[in-house]
DNA sequence: ATATTACTTTACAAAGC
DNA sequence: GCTTTAAAAAGTAATAT
């Protein structure tokens, strides 16, 4: 009986240590990404829920912690791409993506697809583009998405193309490479989305 | 307007069967030309048929998986070839082994562009999976028939998980009517 | 700048790690 | 869970020309 009691303590301690590790990892990654404290709290809540629902069995603590942070960023309206998240995690992109889909489904997070406009302020800021460019990029995204151009396309590539187009239209040109680097997509993706958006907007590029 | 059902095309059929006899895959690999066998990598021996085109995975237990065929008839034809090849190696094969279709992959076209964002909300975020950062298709799981559909912005779709060709037709019907009642088939 | 090749997702069986 | 096999959808990416 004493043995059983000790075992429980040991298990409880291990569980506490694992939780502490997960939360400190969330904190570390959140800091590296520069997201506000509110996002870390949302991520912590998601992680605790995943723990309570026993979703971590068969998966790494780090993977679930990273996915919780990815989900939290989206929920808070300041998304980071899987590419960006994976740069501060020791879990690879593919694993983060599939773990995120799993906990999102199991916890019923009902995550809406990421709106490309959510990337505009941050990307434009990194490129030192004006408010005018941001507004123009948002307008391009809004208009072309309504025409159904967004279906199936990655939000970062879509935002990058709109920002590139807007920078040209506002005479604050950034090269495709510069925008591609910030958004972490290829120039080919920007070119492809840019052509479609320009055509849909009736602009002559 | 063309009935989307008319656009259904079977792309792949997966089936399993068995010859009711254990096999020495090492010797089969030696005698069967074109056979790929690397037990370190995978326990099954791979044998490809040209006409109909398919790949058979042959196991030590005598069980066989056939995949890549474009119809259930092709599955039977491919396996008939595999059975005969094994008989040529003087391996006893049951007269008419039972062949069970495990999965049928189908493609189809709804004929109009789809707004996946609107469909995701319309069908209910809890019923679908749509992560365009990871994959361009919207994943929609149906209960009846029990299949999984991948919907694309082009209006084309993939249906998989079905055991009979009719499953794809029923799935296309359900998806079409569901999108229509939601007013999402623009 | 474009073309090719390859990888992402779904389902499924098999035997073994 | 993974390994292997096949095939489609469309987007993205890496590499070649």
Residue length of chain A: 205
Percent of the residues in chain A that have a pLDDT greater than 70, as a whole number = 99
Residue A1 clears pLDDT 70, i.e. is over it: no
Q: Which of residues 80-99 of A touch strand C (CB under 7 A)?
A: 94, 97-98
Nucleotides of D under 7 A from a protein CB: 1, 3-15
User: Domain spanning B15-102: which superfamily?
Assistant: TATA-Binding Protein (3.30.310.10)
The closest nt to B41, taking CA to C1', is D3
Instruction: Name the residue of chain A whose CA is nearest to B155's CA.
Output: A151
Cα separation of B44 and B50, whole Å? 19
- Res. A53 pLDDT band, cuts 50 70 90: very high
Q: Which positions 127-146 of B are in contact with A (Cβ < 8 Å)?
A: 129-134, 136-137
Residue A27 clears pLDDT 80, i.e. is over it: yes
Residue A6 clears pLDDT 90, i.e. is over it: no
Contact state of A112 with B114 under an 8 Å Cβ cutoff: no
Distance from CA of B185 to the nearest CA of A (A): 12
User: Domain spanning B110-182: which superfamily?
Assistant: TATA-Binding Protein (3.30.310.10)
Supply A176's token pair: 């495709």
Give the pLDDT of residue B1: 64
pTM of the full structure: 0.96
- Using 50 as the pLDDT threshold, list the residues of chain B that sit under it: none
Q: What tens digit of pLDDT does each residue of A154-171 get?
A: 999 999 999 999 999 999
Supply A25's token pair: 């990892």
Give the pLDDT of residue A10: 73
Same fold, B15-102 and B110-182: yes
ipTM: 0.96
- Apex CA B24: angle with CA B23 and CA B30, to 5°? 125
Q: What tens digit of pLDDT does each residue of A31-46 get?
A: 999 999 999 999 999 9
Residue A11 clears pLDDT 90, i.e. is over it: no
**B57 CB less than 7 Å from any atom of strand D:** yes
Give the pLDDT of residue B184: 86
Contact state of A156 with B133 under an 8 Å Cβ cutoff: yes
Nucleotides of C under 7 A from a protein CB: 1-3, 8-16
Instruction: Name the residue of chain A whose CA is nearest to B126's CA.
Output: A110
Cα separation of A132 and A124, whole Å? 10
Contact state of A151 with B152 under an 8 Å Cβ cutoff: yes
Give the pLDDT of residue A179: 98
Residues B107-126 as b/e (b if ≥16 CB within 10 A, e otherwise) read bbbbeebbbbbbbbbbbebe
Cα separation of B118 and B30, whole Å? 56
Q: Which residue among A105, A111, A152 places its CB closest to the CB of B132?
A: A152
Can you tell me which residue has its alpha carbon closest to the C1' of nucleotide D12?
A189
What are the boundaries of each domain within chain B?
15-102, 110-182
């Amino acid at each position: 009986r004493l043995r059983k009691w000790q075992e429980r303590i040991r298990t409880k301690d291990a569980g506490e240590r694992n939780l502490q590790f997960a939360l400190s990892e969330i904190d570390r990654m959140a800091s590296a990404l520069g997201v506000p404290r509110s996002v870390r709290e949302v991520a912590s809540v998601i992680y605790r829920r995943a723990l309570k629902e026993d979703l971590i069995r068969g998966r790494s603590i780090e993977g679930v912690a990273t996915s919780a942070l990815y989900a939290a960023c989206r929920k808070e309206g300041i998304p980071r791409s899987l590419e960006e998240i994976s740069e501060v995690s020791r879990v690879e992109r593919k694993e983060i993506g599939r773990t995120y889909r799993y906990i999102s489904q199991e916890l019923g997070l009902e995550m809406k697809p990421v709106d490309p406009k959510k990337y505009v302020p941050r990307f434009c800021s990194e490129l030192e583009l004006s408010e005018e460019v941001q507004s123009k990029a948002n307008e391009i995204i809004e208009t072309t998405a309504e025409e159904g151009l967004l279906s199936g396309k990655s939000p970062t590539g879509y935002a990058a193309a709109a920002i590139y187009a807007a920078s040209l239209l506002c005479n604050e040109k950034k090269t495709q490479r510069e925008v591609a680097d910030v958004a972490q997509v290829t120039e080919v993706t920007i070119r492809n989305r840019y052509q479609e958006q320009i055509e849909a907007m009736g602009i002559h590029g | 307007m063309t009935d989307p059902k008319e656009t259904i095309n079977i792309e792949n059929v997966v089936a399993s069967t068995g010859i009711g006899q254990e096999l020495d895959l090492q010797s089969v690999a030696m005698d069967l030309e074109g056979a790929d066998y690397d037990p370190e990598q995978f326990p099954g021996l791979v044998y490809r048929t040209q006409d109909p085109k398919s790949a058979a995975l042959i196991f030590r237990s005598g069980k066989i998986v056939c995949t890549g065929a474009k119809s259930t008839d092709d599955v039977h034809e491919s396996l008939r070839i595999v059975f005969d090849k094994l008989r040529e190696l003087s391996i006893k094969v049951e007269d008419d082994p039972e062949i069970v279709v495990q999965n049928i992959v189908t493609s189809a076209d709804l004929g109009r562009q789809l707004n996946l964002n609107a469909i995701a909300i319309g069908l209910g975020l809890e019923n679908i999976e749509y992560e365009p950062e990871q994959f361009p298709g919207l994943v929609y799981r149906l209960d009846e028939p029990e299949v999984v559909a991948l919907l694309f912005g082009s209006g084309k779709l993939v249906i998989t998980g079905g055991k009979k060709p009719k499953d794809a037709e029923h799935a296309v019907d359900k998806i079409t009517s569901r999108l229509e009642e939601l007013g999402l088939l623009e």
